Structure 1
Amino acid sequence: MTSTQVTERAFPVTPVRPPTLETLPLAVAANLASARARTRSAIMAVVKADGYGHGAVPIATAAVDAGAEWLGVTDLAEAATLRAAGLTVPILSWLNPAGVDACLAAAERIDVAVGSADELRDLLAGAEATVRVHLQLDTGMARGGCPRHEWDELLGLARRGQLSRRIDVVGLMGHLPLADQADPPTNRPAVARMHEARRAAAKAGLGPLIVHLSATAGALTDPATHFGMVRIGAGLVGIDPSETVMLHGASRLTASIVHSTTVEARTSVGYGGDHVTDRPTRLGVLGVGYADGIPRDLARDAAVEIHGRRCRIVGRVSMDQIVVDTGPDPVPRGTTATVFGPDGGATPSIHDWARWARTIPHTIVTGIGPRVRRSIG
């Protein structure tokens, strides 16, 4: 038995813990406060995609506790989950890829967005009790919402639906196509279109309406886009698409070392031998891989934090595991590695991971798979 083996066996046995994504409600509250300091409008906390991967209920609860007046989702099932959790503030569902169950929307007091006359006709046909509606107009994205040449038809139909008491038109919404540039002049065409839409709605006999156009980037950088309400989604979990405001990461992903080994120089690592060690070193295996949301294609400096230092990921990312070079110091099985977190220092952030994967931080946090345990910090 070598002296190295004796030393490593002398470490106390540390239990292996499952990979865990810890959601941090205090960070959500701090991010909401940053948005609140920049607007006088009401705030809708958008918790679509399971709260950007952080858990819709804990993110929504933290946001409402911190003062958010509304919640936003993209389908009625997400909204019903929030209602079942006891959240009573107004909720808007605006994409509805499975269609709109008008009876469910009315029963659960869920507002729905309607972006065309055809959508509104479908809703009116199924409405047995009054459904609260936000009319979604195209303000420059051509990705959804009613185009300008069809506004009159939609507004007229909405007015008739309101008179029949099948719907109650309470809101008017659009999207900013260029807010990430943090340049208010680029937002002016969309803002002008929203003002035009509000005038058209009033002329059609609809109103007063709550008007909302801006998401996180516009809310943080351009007061002219705020109208009566702003929608904060990515900003809740620490992502400012405009990259102008420092927000707080709202989660921490950790995983245990499940296997540790010592290797010689010129040892190939992982499938295909893409990495070959240039010195004797120690390797640790973490039980997370691309099935858990670790991007498969990473820059060479991608790393995790172990004992206050960065340890580089080596070899290919596998479905269920990654390998890290832990250097000269032994790191025994059960040691905790932080994949990303808000801690600073050696701990990678979600923005580091986005850079390493040549993507945006949104895809990092929303991509964490179901095998990863969730906890609340």
Structure 2
Amino acid sequence: MIIAAHSDRPTPVPEAGAFSLAPAPRASSSGPAPQAEALVDLDAVAHNVRLLCEHAGDAGVMAVVKADAYNHGAVAVGRAALAAGATELGVTTVDEAVALREAGITAPVVSWLHTADTDFRPAVAANVEIAVSSPRHLHAVVDAARSVGTTVAVSMKVDTGLNRNGVSAFELDALLDGLARAQAEGAIRFGGVFSHLAHADEPHNPVIDVQAEVLRDAVARAARLGLRADRVHLANSAATLTRPDLRFDMVRPGIALYGLSPVPELGGFGLRPAMTLRARIALVKKVPAGAGVSYGHTWIAPRDTTVALLPVGYADGVPRSLSGRFDVQIGSRRFPQIGRVCMDQVVVDLGPDPGSVAEGDTAILFGPGDDGGPVAQEWADALDTIHYEVVTGVRGRVARSYVGSAGTGVR
């Protein structure tokens, strides 16, 4: 459990280069902790994976770690997920897949979003399964396999009604014919058939059943050409938790791995949020009644008060449009953010009696909600967006660190 306290903070394991813009400072007994930090609880990830495995039943679990594991760190999360029972990892780009291989992860990895002129050779050489969505993509992958001199596992992504990535009905026959020829040649091994739901956050939307039937038809058409997929998958996080009839051979959860509910109105499903965004108080000062705070003086102190300054702002992923619309947790108390969110800092109203709050203390901007603390969903509600955008939006000078032992030693 992560609690914002003055001194009993967990000892994190920082990751160098987190969020790409600044190396993560290394916290130690001889130096200060990071000013702003995204603390990722790998044991929470493992808990979530085990819960999802229970919902999956006999189906396998692909842990989706695209976009650097939704900004939680693909390598660390991937290892934790595999140790907890996931059978493979899923990403979008081949660069993401190859990075997992370079980190020493040997479990199956599938990559599914590419331009047709992508250089697939590094992925082929690294034994990454590549999903194709058109005859043009297949041609490029087969050329790469011939160049490397090996057989590549290829999946077919089918557009079943989302009208986004995936082969359309107009090109399905041509792609199936190409896959059959490539399989006969020995250039490919047919790995899987899958699709993506358009309304998974509405578990009883009739479009879901239509998409499932379109997928089944594509699988049957592939089988008639001798293309028998290793596994078929459709269910994302929401479907994994609410539609057991859509398990097929494997489920493909993403956001639920990170402890965020894919259908918030149905509750938390027992998931544990993995990311805590927190900052250390840089300054505590008194502000007299009638004084304005931050740019534009959009907040005027209604009475003598004390404020705390947090060294994190919109350059670090705290949206400016969230100004004056969120709380932070310090110790076991919540305090309102006041005035405009600036590029580098936000101000919090501690009130006339701040108690023992002091410079250097930790403030949680969002986290697991322990002791009634703020959660990412609160930001999403205030911004009229989804919590996916909240956690993937953390950036800039925020250091990413880890707690928990899940995934240690997993390859």
Normalising by the smaller structure, the TM-score range is over 0.9
Give the alignment partner of residue 253 of structure 1, picking from 256, 277, 289. Answer: 277
Which residue of 2 is the match for residue 325 of structure 1?
Answer: 349
In the alignment, is residue 362 of structure 1 matched against residue 388 of structure 2? yes
Which residue of 1 is the match for residue 254 of structure 2?
Answer: 233
Which residue of 2 is the match for residue 52 of structure 1?
Answer: 70
Give the alignment partner of residue 36 of structure 2, picking from 19, 27, 41. Answer: 19
SS at match of 2:179: helix
Which residue of 2 is the match for residue 68 of structure 1?
Answer: 86
* Partner deviation per Cα, 1:176-225 (whole Å, 9 max, x = no partner): 11111122644100110111011000012101431111111111110122
Gaps of 5+ in 2: 1-30, 404-411
The separation in 2 between residues aligned to 1:39 and 1:19, in whole angstroms, is 37
Which residue of 2 is the match for residue 85 of structure 1?
Answer: 103
Check the 8 A contact 1:187/1:225 in 2, yes or no. Answer: no
The separation in 2 between residues aligned to 1:52 and 1:285, in whole angstroms, is 28
Instruction: State, as a whole percentage, how many aligned pairs show the same letter.
Output: 40
In the alignment, is residue 159 of structure 1 matched against residue 180 of structure 2? yes
* Partner deviation per Cα, 1:95-149 (whole Å, 9 max, x = no partner): 1358543321221110011001111122223322221100111111001111113
The separation in 1 between residues aligned to 2:197 and 2:247, in whole angstroms, is 11
| Superposed counterparts of 1:27-176, under 5 Å | 27-40=44-57, 41-97=59-115, 99-128=117-146, 129-176=150-197
| Superposed counterparts of 1:198-237, under 5 Å | 198-237=219-258
The separation in 1 between residues aligned to 2:324 and 2:317, in whole angstroms, is 18
SS at match of 2:320: coil
The separation in 2 between residues aligned to 1:257 and 1:205, in whole angstroms, is 63
Check the 8 A contact 2:94/2:120 in 1, yes or no. Answer: no
In the alignment, is residue 280 of structure 1 matched against residue 304 of structure 2? yes
Alpha-carbon offset, residue 292 of structure 1: 0.6
Farther off after superposition, 202-211 or 45-54: 202-211
- Relative to structure 1, the CA distance from residue 104 to residue 288 in structure 2 (aligned partners, 3 Å threshold; closer, same or farther) is same
Alpha-carbon offset, residue 305 of structure 1: 0.5
SS at match of 2:372: coil
The separation in 2 between residues aligned to 1:270 and 1:192, in whole angstroms, is 56
Letter in 2 for 1:332: A
* Partner deviation per Cα, 1:248-300 (whole Å, 9 max, x = no partner): 10011111111221011111111111111111101111000011111211274
Check the 8 A contact 2:289/2:302 in 1, yes or no. Answer: yes
Alpha-carbon offset, residue 301 of structure 1: 4.2
In the alignment, is residue 268 of structure 1 matched against residue 292 of structure 2? yes
The separation in 1 between residues aligned to 2:122 and 2:100, in whole angstroms, is 13
The separation in 1 between residues aligned to 2:389 and 2:80, in whole angstroms, is 22
Report how many residues are paired: 364
SS at match of 2:90: strand
Letter in 2 for 1:308: S
Normalised TM-score (structure 2) = 0.85
Alpha-carbon offset, residue 164 of structure 1: 1.5
- Relative to structure 1, the CA distance from residue 229 to residue 56 in structure 2 (aligned partners, 3 Å threshold; closer, same or farther) is same
Check the 8 A contact 2:203/2:239 in 1, yes or no. Answer: yes
* Partner deviation per Cα, 1:324-355 (whole Å, 9 max, x = no partner): 00112343321211111114223111111212
Which residue of 2 is the match for residue 9 of structure 1?
Answer: none
SS at match of 2:321: coil
The separation in 1 between residues aligned to 2:233 and 2:302, in whole angstroms, is 56
In the alignment, is residue 350 of structure 1 matched against residue 397 of structure 2? no
SS at match of 2:282: strand
Check the 8 A contact 2:324/2:340 in 1, yes or no. Answer: no
Give the alignment partner of residue 328 of structure 2, picking from 296, 299, 304. Answer: 304
The separation in 2 between residues aligned to 1:78 and 1:67, in whole angstroms, is 21
Gaps of 5+ in 1: 1-13
Farther off after superposition, 97-106 or 216-225: 97-106
Give the alignment partner of residue 317 of structure 2, picking from 286, 293, 306. Answer: 293
SS at match of 2:182: helix
The separation in 2 between residues aligned to 1:156 and 1:98, in whole angstroms, is 18
Farther off after superposition, 244-253 or 225-234: 244-253
Letter in 1 for 2:72: H
Letter in 2 for 1:124: V
The separation in 1 between residues aligned to 2:117 and 2:74, in whole angstroms, is 21
